[in-house]
Structure 1
């Protein structure tokens, strides 16, 4: 069984590619998280968790769902993480998660995808994004071969910098950077409500025809990237930056 979390579409795309290769229909975790539901899953085949990389770890909200859900059947767990660069020492956190949940940790597979962290970075141009996706598709198929054979993913070399990124840097990132305070809508906003629907934490509501952000945010960047008129900005950082979504 494949269970995925996605912000702007990268992880959904990979989950579908892997699903096609191993004959599994991916399960979207969006409604579980948005409605604060605990999952109860049953699978005779290994569990495959697909998600983006947030500060060199899996998203905290996705980890929370996994911890709070019940898994029957297979005790094997694979992780596929897409990223704009690399996943650091995410492996350590995932090993601990699997130990706590009674899973046999089958490894984590790193897949580079187009950057979508619009709070700081511009998305790649269309041609560059296409090249990255083509390479990512091949990586997804390679990962699927390990899953079909129920063999562990190859280990990823981890250095001191990786340990720092997935450790103290992740902690600092969530404490001081992950916030919705800098999001705002410009006069280009048409009050379509797409940002409200796309927010997995129900952190956005329309007031007087404009979106207003609350205090719960995971920086998935769905609101800013899916806005049809590019009306959402993140402070001054995102002004003029290219947006990115992957819908398929």
Structure 2
């Protein structure tokens, strides 16, 4: 079976799921490719299963991922199977899988799975509190078990077609659109401290090309999507939100620790 995993990931949670799923599926003999939508990879016609994932921003995946799916995922007449997934700090507003599933079905895909993975917060400004180390370890452990179940079901062709909840899809997509507008204004609250050395990493990694650097001076434009990648990837933790410094979410350090315990 040939499998294509496509995703958008802000600070690494969604990428982590894609990479773990790819690794586990390859271990049992499947041919798997996992790519970010930022890589602008085109699909082959001989894909047996497509997996699409993204993070939850205000109850839906980012508008960037929705537009990418609509523009880049081709229609199929072969009822190609599909699985959608999201990563979220909780399950209450994790409605994005319904939105993704609905759009894939309209393109002719048979959506056979919808997965939501609870992952550590990377957005903990204001009232949003950062997860404790113990909470993070439990999340990674639970996610590993959840992925194992999905892989086993794919291996055994044991995933039954699901009836998708297509109600309120329009309102969910409006939420994504509204948040994308809000994010542009929220992004103007980013700045840098005197710890910034002008290395340019934030500008290179920004999925919206929202950051420009001139003479080692960092400026934030009006295209932010609030993925927070800039904050968490800065080597000096020099990026501020509303002039406040926040601890960084370094997913790679947790990956090393949590995988050792599994």
Query: Per the shorter chain, which TM-score range?
Result: 0.7 to 0.9
Q: 2:249 corresponds to which residue?
A: 244
Q: Equivalents in 2 of 1:89, 1:80: separation in Å?
A: 10
* Greater C-alpha radius of gyration: 2
Structure 2 unmatched runs, 5+: 27-31, 256-262
- 1:139-154 alignment runs, 5 A limit: 139-148=146-155, 149=157, 151-152=159-160
Aligned-pair CA distance for 1:190: 1.2
In the other structure, the counterpart of 2:50 is 47
Q: Does 1:30 align with 2:38?
A: yes
Q: 2:29: which partner in 1?
A: none
Report which structure shows greater RCO (CA 8 Å, sep ≥6): 1
TM-score norm. by structure 2 comes to 0.78
Displacement of 1:133 after TM fit?
1.2
| Unmatched tracts of structure 1, length 5 or more | 33-37
SS in structure 2 at match of 1:98: helix
Which residue does the alignment assign to 2:87? 82
How many correspondences in the alignment? Answer: 239
Q: Helix, strand or coil for the counterpart of 2:94? A: coil
| Structure 2 Cα separation of the partners of residues 108 and 115 of structure 1 | 21
Aligned pair partner of 2:240 in 233, 236, 246: 233
Q: 1:99 to 1:163 in 2, by over 3 A?
A: closer
Q: Pick the aligned partner of 1:114 from 120, 134, 138.
A: 120
Partner of 1:35: none
- Residue 186 of structure 1 contacts residue 231 of structure 1 at CA under 8 Å; is this kept in 2? yes
Deviates more, 1:95-104 or 1:10-19: 95-104
Distance in 2, Cα, partners of 1:217 & 1:108 = 28
Paired with 1:168 and 1:175, the residues of 2 have a C-alpha distance of: 11
Deviation per residue, 1:145-168 (Å, 9 max, x gap): 33332614777999x9x9898366
2:144 corresponds in structure 1 to: 137
Cα distance in 1, alignment partners of residues 129 and 215 from structure 2: 30
Q: Is the Cα contact below 8 Å between 1:199 and 1:222 reproduced in 2?
A: yes
Instruction: Tell me how far 1:177 sits from its aligned partner.
Output: 4.0
Is the deviation greater in 116-125 or in 94-103?
116-125
The two structures, once aligned, show a CA RMSD in angstroms of 3.0
